[in-house]
Amino acid sequence: MSETRKLRRVITNLRHGGHALSQDVYKADPHANAIETLTTVEAVIDDAQPADLTLISTPFGYLFDDLEDHYPGAHLPVEPAAAVAAGLKALGSAMVEQDLGDADTNSTVPPVYTYWGQFVDHDLTANTDREDDIGITAATLEPLPPERVRRDLRNLRDPALNLDSLYGNGPAASGGDGEVPYDGDRFVIGKLSEINAGPVPGADLPRKPDRKALVGDARNDENLIVAQLHLAFLKFHNAVVDQIGEGDFERARGLVRRHYQWLCVHDFLKTIADPAVVDGLLDGTITPLYEPRDGKAYMPLEFSVAAFRFGHSMVRGAYDWNRNFGAPGTFEQVATFEQLFLFTGGGGLAGLPTLPDNWPCEYERLTDFEAEVPGFPARAARKIDTLLSPPLADLANDGNGDLPPRIARLLKRLAVRNLIRGYRLAIPTGQSVAGALGIPPLTSAELLGRDQRVSDALIDGGFVKETPLWFYVLREAEVGGGNRLGAVGSRIVCETIIGQLRADPDSYLNEEGGVWSPADGVRLDLNGEQVEIDSIVRFLQFAGVHRLV
């Protein structure tokens, strides 16, 4: 017999860059008061039985229908596929920062935006492709027709900024195996492990005895920055409950979602993309491309596989993290990329049950440019460009165990992963997308840039006139100075996020009575003055994880 029920969206067995299978997704008790989209299911699906992905997922698609219809004319060549794949691997291998002398790699964007973007990505997408099916580790890396990609690739997240990665199944499911834990309407906050080595005020995510974080998406415990940002969201929710009072969880969650959505548009997008594109899409002076398909919101592949991966180029190899691992520091050292992966559940927390008390984030160092100290990394994200930080060319194998050497080499180089993935999933070229948007394409001189290794790889691979979209978006930003996305990148990213908010009847853009603004939300007590939460810094201050300034 059929029944209507809400399906669980707590993803516990997925790492950033990985791809969930149906059996990795827990299914909810059909009688639980969960929070996800109603779905009709013919029978109760228990955890031992893989669910039909069409019932527990949402679609991917292509933003540019006309380019999809002209496949492969608007894409990288289908043949000879082996040569194209070899060229992409060479290009990705070249996209690593070398000794650039006095070249400035620091942007004007604080590092917190890099990881706010990663949090958003995990809230919007979780791929479901099997690596030996339509993924990037197949023995023959041939491009797949768009219709097959749309058929076989599914998304385990709703394409909406609804914070399902934060709330899981809500308080009613608290206490269940793997569920997000609540104490009444509030989230449970994890404790630090005391090691008496310069403690820093802060907390940890709630954890199981095996160190795994009890969060709505395991990827948010992959590196310490996004883990601490997830913690900030937990604390922001709790602070909202403190302000409005216990007993109205739905209202508290609604306020958190609206603040988050508004900040994604008016702070995050206006910082990393062209503000004029944001305003144009909001006021109607730019005709939007994004529209739901068959009445359903979808995730554009040009966004998830290419344009929104711009954040990879903003990642630093080390950060000014806190008073112990930063400037001025007790130990006079920085927090390295490797350490930020070590001090998480996925990294084993150096054998401790929870985060040690000398490792919480001091957010002022990720948001404030004013207190830089010589010898320590600038309090800035790297510029958006085509040279990634060296640690991204030597990643761990994402917990996949003993892999064949060919696959291990592929997975450890992030730029190679991204380029091969775009090829496999039929992402159109940068020039094709620019043409579809009516934007003059980059010239050959602009594409070749300053790095000889990258230029040679572009030429040798035949990618100067037909450029992978991810690379094109990065180069476009680099040509513009590297502090924000260029014309093509801004349109794809803003179209997707604003389009999905418009398609969500519960988003802040569709508030009954008019568009919601921070004036309708909670207020921060700043030295006796009640101020609106109108920036990411104010969000962190309200959560109690950033000093009041």
pLDDT tens for 111-166 read 999 999 999 999 999 876 544 445 555 556 889 999 999 998 999 888 999 999 99
What tens digit of pLDDT does each residue of 448-487 get? 988 999 999 999 999 999 999 999 999 999 999 999 999 9
Mean pLDDT of 246-262: 97
Task: Output b/e per residue, 129-144; b: 16+ Cβ within 10 A.
Answer: bebeebbbbbeebebb
What tens digit of pLDDT does each residue of 46-103 get? 333 345 667 778 999 999 999 998 899 999 999 999 999 999 999 999 999 865 544 5
Q: Between vectors from CA 204 to CA 199 and to CA 206, what angle results, nearest 5°?
A: 150
Residue 128 pLDDT: 61
- Domains in the chain, ordered, with CATH? 3-543 (1.10.640)
Residue 218 pLDDT: 93
CA-nearest of 415, 511, 543, 394 to 471 is 415
pLDDT of 267 strictly over 90: yes
**What distance in Å separates the CA atoms of residue 166 and residue 260, rounded to the nearest whole number?**
12
CA-nearest of 386, 333, 391 to 358 is 333
Q: Give the E-state strand segments of 428-535 in sequence order.
A: 523-526, 529-532
pLDDT band at 308 (very low <50, low <70, confident <90, very high): very high
Q: Long-range contacts made by residues 42-50, C-beta under 8 angstroms, separation at least 24?
A: 42/1, 42/2, 43/1, 44/3, 50/21, 50/22, 50/23
pLDDT of 40 strictly over 80: no
Residue 45 pLDDT: 28
What global pTM score does this model have? 0.89
pLDDT of 436 strictly over 70: yes
pLDDT band at 375 (very low <50, low <70, confident <90, very high): low
